[in-house]
Amino acid sequence: MWTSVSNSFQLDILVKKILKADNLDMDQLQNELRKKIDGNRYLLVLDDVWNENRENWLALKDLLMGGARGSKILITTRSETVAKITDTSKPYNLRGLSEEQSWYLFKKMAFQDGKEPMSSTIKALGEEIATKCKGVPLAIRTIGRMLYTRDPDSEWSAFKNNKLSAIWQEENDILPTLQLSYDVLPSHLKHCFAYCSLFPPDYEIPVQNLIKLWMAQGFVKSSNPNECLEDVGYEYYNELVWRSFFQQEEKDEFGIIKSCKMHDLMNELAVKVAGEGSTIIDRNKTDFDAKRLLHVSFDFDVDLSKWKIPTSLAESNKLRTFLFLSQDQLWWGKSFHKSFCATIASNFKSLRMLSLNELRITKLPKCLRKMKHLRYLDLSANPIERLPNWIVKLQNLETLNLSRCDSLVELPRDIKKLINLRHLILECCYELARIPPGLGELTCLRTLSRFVLSKNNSMLRDGAGLGELGKLKDLRGGLEIRNLRYKKDMMSELNYDGAVLKEKRHLYLLTLHWMRIERENSDAIEEESDVIIKSMEALQPHSSLKQLVVDKYPGARFASWFHSLTNIVNLGFFRCDRCQHLPPLDHLPFLKSLRLSRLRNLEHISEDMVKDFASDEMMMSAASPSTNFFPSLESLYLSDCPNLKGWWKNETASAFSFPCLSTLAIWSCPNLTSMPLCPNLDKLKLLRSSWKVLPSSLALFKLKSLEIMSVEDIEYVPEEWIDNLTLLQKLEIEDCPNLVSLPDQGLGRLISLQRLHISNCPKLASLPDQGIGRLISLQRLHISFCPKLASLPEGIGNLTLLQHLLIRRCPNLVSIPDQGMGRLLSLKRLHISKCPKLASLPEGINNLKSLQLLWIWDCPNLASLPEGLRCLTSLKRLIIEDCPILKQRCQKETGEDWSKIAHIPDISTYP
């Protein structure tokens, strides 16, 4: 586990970071942390710690107790005091890079292709500059990148002798050196970098939003009127990345940069150069330099019932940015106060950016119409139903964020008057009834995440038609079109041809959602089939599209343009009930994910194998790595396709194989009996489908995870099939009513298996003794809802790596093997519940030296606890629930079994 701490050492925030869980209270966080570390050996890295309060450290340390022997906490810090208060072993002082390493890194940054210069003079000069950076990689990278753009012969020497030599710095202070790289930035990049002082250390900065924020402040400019400002802003960002001001870029599945971070030293530099013009506000900060303050951000959850704008902040009448960074999505308990907006509107009239997200706003206060300079307004995640028409008076508005306003029904009727609007963000606005007419006049618009046609046929003319989309030539990002339909007498109103999606080359996500018409008549739909297919043909997107989702399409066939989607990565067809024929998809070179769900009339995914492929030679080579059959497909999801029988209609599936498929899920496809081979499959899930589909795909040599759930036609697992699964790590079998047995020899060959879960198999009477005993890698064994199971196999004692054993709802379980249980030396958690015939626990329990949790629930015939519990010094928690006899015997001080458990720190008995 790796957690960047920085300046914030609040216990709840820190635990949230460790668990990567934002929406839990402190009690829940503690419970989750215990589950994660109790009994497990862990390594926790707390990076960049500044907390010098020993009590804070001890509070965290208490929570982290309970890990297995060998657990470690590694702390990195630039403060010697931090090292002292943590009572660590002798701290290890990291040294900077050696001179040789510094020169190697400097060469990579300062010279083309990282090649050493031919001139010995330039080399010596570079080595001197690298040495001046004192072995700090960030300084070397930053200075090297700065000098890359400068002439070594005429400028490097002056830089070394003047600027680099003129700075004074303490031994551990590298900021003055870093500032040299800031000082030479052009003014527009200086503004952009200093603005990032609004983000706290280690903050994950969303890059696209950062560019919108820069634009709102007027930092992004171009002399070319045809140049897109978002592209210019992206160039600014890339320039700062290249100069090492940003790092740790995260990309989405399409390779598009989502977020980045700033090194904590760069963050300090941004705060320094921004000066008193920018500040991050925490809960307790109340004193501000009102005359100089321009930008503020809030690094805490603003709850208006508990927090008011401080007086000194309210006096900052030059404020341009009011940005919330960490609003809590848990809205209950919050209340919105109009006075808050009134204070903003009357005091901060120069605001360019205003966050009002997640404040429980139901109606936008009229006072905000005074904010004439506003360019970015964030109203996301508020229960607003209607956006008032007066908002169109905010003529300078460029970004309007309404995402997650899931009660929003209506946009302003005159929204076309927002002539400077570039980004209308409507993600997850599920109740939006229509888009007002005239939207196509907003020719600056770049983002329109949701376009909704009116559901009411008679009101189609009162809303925007698809022709409005045709005017928005520069849309980019994602677009969802909802309430498409197919009536022949309405084609002029719908104007499918007017959408001109084919020309929108910057769109990379597209969802086409058809409206399901009540009481649809199949004959009527058949009559309209030509209209249906023509409407889809008219919605052809640009070939650069990365993701396409088609939902509720009413036709039997799809448009002919699917073959042109040569850059598609994700493709999904959902709830297309009349679909009988899918377009040919096997040739799409970059398709990685394919989802087919609720295609109730689909019988075969491809009509004719011979037709889909060019030649007999290609068919002969289909199983080779060079095949063109779904060359990049990594995940395939088939669900709710009740009539799906196989991949091809006329040929056997085994003729071809998926070269890259790693994840396959088949849900509710009971008639599917054959699939192409999947030689590289890593994860397979079969739910409410036929077992017959699996033995047909025997080449599962690389499978690591197998889940079989609600499969009714499986009685036995063939030995020869399970023999191939030597790499399998996880096996779950649930809700298989006819499963009688597991193969003894085959099960024993699963030498890599770490997790075995068997649940709700009512005919399973026993587990194979030898097979279970050879699962040498098994760490978790869960057995539940197996009413015929009377005992556990003796072979369980060979599971020397087993850590978790759960036995639940096995009403006929009489005993647990004594000797077998005693050999489980790695067992940490033992959970036994709902086993009414179990009369005793094995005495061999005294050998479970690693046991930390024992949970016994609803085993009413358990008469006593074994004597061996006295020996379990590692046992930290005992839970006894709904066991009346045991509860009585475990009464503190007076119970007959109390002496056996008195050493356990945490004992709970219920009820």
656 lies in the same domain as 754: no
77 lies in the same domain as 171: no
Could you give the number of structural domains in the chain? 8
Q: What is the pLDDT of residue 610?
A: 41
Q: Residue 22: which domain range?
A: 2-85
Which strand (E) or helix (H) includes residue 233? helix 229-242
Mean pLDDT, rounded, for 69-77: 83
Say whether pLDDT at 112 is over 60.
yes
| Local confidence band at 297 (pLDDT 50, 70, 90 cut-offs) | very high
Say whether pLDDT at 421 is over 50.
yes
Give the CA count within 13 Å in the CB-facing half-sphere of 339: 7
340 lies in the same domain as 450: no
Q: For residues 778 and 457, which has the higher predicted lDDT (pLDDT)? A: 778
**Cβ contacts of 347 within 8 Å, gap of 6 or more:** 309, 314, 315, 316, 317, 319
Q: For residues 519 and 24, which has the higher predicted lDDT (pLDDT)? A: 24
pLDDT digits (tens, 9 = 90+) for 752-777: 999 999 999 999 999 998 889 999 99
Spatial separation of the C-alpha atoms in residues 139 and 142, rounded to whole Å: 5
From residue 325, give the alpha-carbon distance in Å to each of 24, 399, 425, 650.
18, 17, 18, 58
* Nearest residue to 635 (alpha-carbon basis) of 590, 667, 584, 683: 683
253 lies in the same domain as 287: no
Alpha helices by DSSP H, listed for 111-228, are 120-132, 137-148, 157-158, 165-166, 175-183, 187-195, 207-216
Give the CA count within 13 Å in the CB-facing half-sphere of 580: 4
Q: For residues 222 and 488, which has the higher predicted lDDT (pLDDT)? A: 222
Residue 253 one-letter amino acid? E
**Given 183, 206, 240, which residue is the final one in a domain?**
183
Q: Is residue 832 situated within a structural domain? A: no
Q: Is residue 106 situated within a structural domain? A: yes
752 lies in the same domain as 772: yes
Its sign, for the CA torsion 465, 467, 472, 476, is positive
**Given 432, 448, 463, which residue is the final one in a domain?**
432
Q: Is residue 110 situated within a structural domain? A: yes
Say whether pLDDT at 327 is over 80.
no
Q: Is residue 586 situated within a structural domain? A: yes
Least confident interval from 606-620, 628-642, 807-821: 606-620
Give the CA count within 13 Å in the CB-facing half-sphere of 618: 12
CB 429 within 8 A of CB 450: yes
Spatial separation of the C-alpha atoms in residues 380 and 329, rounded to whole Å: 11
Say whether pLDDT at 88 is over 80.
no
Say whether pLDDT at 737 is over 80.
yes
Say whether pLDDT at 732 is over 80.
yes
Mean pLDDT, rounded, for 507-519: 86
112 lies in the same domain as 224: no
Q: What is the pLDDT of residue 528?
A: 72
**Given 432, 464, 497, which residue is the final one in a domain?**
432
Determine the longest span between alpha carbons in the chain, in angstroms.
91
**Cβ contacts of 289 within 8 Å, gap of 6 or more:** 276
Mean pLDDT, rounded, for 647-675: 85
pLDDT digits (tens, 9 = 90+) for 197-213: 999 988 999 999 999 99
| Local confidence band at 622 (pLDDT 50, 70, 90 cut-offs) | very low
| Selection from 150-159, 321-330, 557-566, 614-623 with the highest mean pLDDT | 557-566
383 lies in the same domain as 459: no
Residue 421 one-letter amino acid? L
Q: Token pair for residue 55?
A: 């009590």
Q: Is residue 728 situated within a structural domain? A: yes
Q: What is the pLDDT of residue 312?
A: 83
Spatial separation of the C-alpha atoms in residues 132 and 138, rounded to whole Å: 13
424 lies in the same domain as 449: no
| Phi, psi values for residue 347, rounded to 5° | -105, -30
Q: What is the pLDDT of residue 349?
A: 93
Spatial separation of the C-alpha atoms in residues 176 and 178, rounded to whole Å: 5
Spatial separation of the C-alpha atoms in residues 202 and 4, rounded to whole Å: 7
Domain containing 213 — which CATH number? 1.10.10.10
Q: Is residue 694 situated within a structural domain? A: no
| Local confidence band at 305 (pLDDT 50, 70, 90 cut-offs) | confident
215 lies in the same domain as 165: no
Q: For residues 301 and 826, which has the higher predicted lDDT (pLDDT)? A: 826
| Selection from 68-77, 116-125, 161-170, 474-483 with the highest mean pLDDT | 474-483
Q: For residues 13 and 296, which has the higher predicted lDDT (pLDDT)? A: 296
Q: What is the pLDDT of residue 618?
A: 35
pLDDT digits (tens, 9 = 90+) for 520-531: 555 556 667 888
Mean pLDDT, rounded, for 316-332: 79
Q: Token pair for residue 558?
A: 């799809």
Mean pLDDT, rounded, for 297-323: 86
Say whether pLDDT at 308 is over 60.
yes
From residue 4, give the alpha-carbon distance in Å to each of 12, 17, 244.
14, 8, 19
344 lies in the same domain as 381: yes
| Local confidence band at 731 (pLDDT 50, 70, 90 cut-offs) | very high
pLDDT digits (tens, 9 = 90+) for 536-561: 999 999 999 999 999 999 999 999 99
Q: What is the pLDDT of residue 744?
A: 85
468 lies in the same domain as 503: yes
Q: For residues 153 and 837, which has the higher predicted lDDT (pLDDT)? A: 837
Say whether pLDDT at 430 is over 80.
yes
Dihedral of CA atoms 79, 83, 86, 90 in degrees, nearest 10, equals 170
Least confident interval from 247-261, 386-400, 624-638: 624-638
**Cβ contacts of 566 within 8 Å, gap of 6 or more:** 543, 588, 589, 590
Mean pLDDT, rounded, for 500-509: 95
Mean pLDDT, rounded, for 2-15: 78
Q: Cβ of 22: how many Cβ atoms within 10 Å? A: 12
Give the mean pLDDT of the chain: 87
Mean pLDDT, rounded, for 369-394: 95
| Local confidence band at 328 (pLDDT 50, 70, 90 cut-offs) | low
Q: Is residue 838 situated within a structural domain? A: no
Q: For residues 395 and 653, which has the higher predicted lDDT (pLDDT)? A: 395
Residue 261, strand partner residues: 247
CB 387 within 8 A of CB 411: yes
Mean pLDDT, rounded, for 739-745: 90
Q: What is the pLDDT of residue 135?
A: 85
Say whether pLDDT at 51 is over 60.
yes
338 lies in the same domain as 297: yes
**Percent of the chain at pLDDT above 70?**
92
Q: DSSP assignment of 327-378, as one string?
A: --S--TT----HHHHHHHHHH-TT-SEEE-TTS--SS--GGGGG-TT--EEE
Q: What is the pLDDT of residue 626?
A: 40
- Counting runs of H as helices and runs of E as strands, what totals does the chain give? 28, 34
| Selection from 647-656, 689-698, 782-791, 811-820 with the highest mean pLDDT | 782-791
Spatial separation of the C-alpha atoms in residues 5 and 10, rounded to whole Å: 10
Q: Is residue 768 situated within a structural domain? A: yes
| Phi, psi values for residue 296, rounded to 5° | -130, 145
Spatial separation of the C-alpha atoms in residues 199 and 271, rounded to whole Å: 9
